[in-house]
Amino acid sequence: MSNDGKRFAGKTAVVTGGASGIGLAILRRLLAESAAVVCADVDPERLRTVEAEFESDSILCVQTDVTKEREIEELVRSAVGRFGVLDCAFNAAGASRPGYLVDLTEEAWDYTVDLCLKGVFLCMKHQARQMLAQGAGGAIVNIASLNAHVPMHAGAAYASAKAGVEMLTRNGALEWTDQGVRVNAVLPGLVQTPLTRRHFGNPEALAAFKARIPLGRPAQPEEIAGPALFLASEDATYVSGASLLVDGAWAVSGYPDMRPFRGTPKWRAGSEIA
């Protein structure tokens, strides 16, 4: 097992959602381990912040909407144009618009599923095409969620999309592992990121989460980055199609009841024609 801190020397990685949260933690860890990194994010201001933080020839920032196929194609072309090759990819872009099933709008469903599931599909498709064309293999790591296994109130779209990411991961492993491209997923529990700040701003909600996490606390993004890099590294050459829970043992205890913090459904029987 490599322990010199340079497992990714000479490697090029793409990180989607790379300008914040888990994606940014992965990016920082890759740079620390000597990789060249392409940071893809939809937010131009966050990308400028990343560029200012690192000011390195080993990083390229590309504004990318992962739900647009042409932008994913351009992202991969940019990576190869700048660094010559694509060795690994981390698909961390994601967000949600929550709502109870009886309240959830088609727009909110489409936003969440397109970003969290369609976006991963498009990224995998074009990342794998490049890796297969190179003929030297590669590794793709998708950031799914504990919610791929555990439903949550007002989270049907997100949980369904993340369950889809887990199956996409397995299907990619089935189709590409024999050609040297490994595909795995990390399933985080509660992680303190900008996207989960509503939980951390509500002491009662945070206490409900902590009560279900045997480790007794949420994760920091860096604690997801380490397992993600392991799956992409030479230390995991016999791992493909796996789903790695990184949740402080949360999955063994179940999801908290979030209804006290989400309120009640707005829809009521008889209030409108179904």
CA 101 to CA 85: how far, in whole Å?
44
- Write out pLDDT tens, residues 172-221: 999 999 999 999 999 999 999 888 888 888 899 899 999 999 999 999 99
pLDDT band at 1 (very low <50, low <70, confident <90, very high): very low
12: enclosing H helix or E strand: strand 12-16
pLDDT exceeds 60 at position 3? no
- Average pLDDT of the chain is 94
Active site residues: 158
What's the confidence (pLDDT) of residue 4? Answer: 62
DSSP string, 206-269: HHHHHHH-TTSSPBPHHHHHHHHHHHHSGGGTT--S-EEEESTTGGGT-----HHHH---S--T
Domain annotation for the chain: domains and CATH numbers: 12-262 (3.40.50.720)
pLDDT exceeds 60 at position 2? no
pLDDT exceeds 50 at position 235? yes
* Higher local confidence (pLDDT), 268 or 162: 162
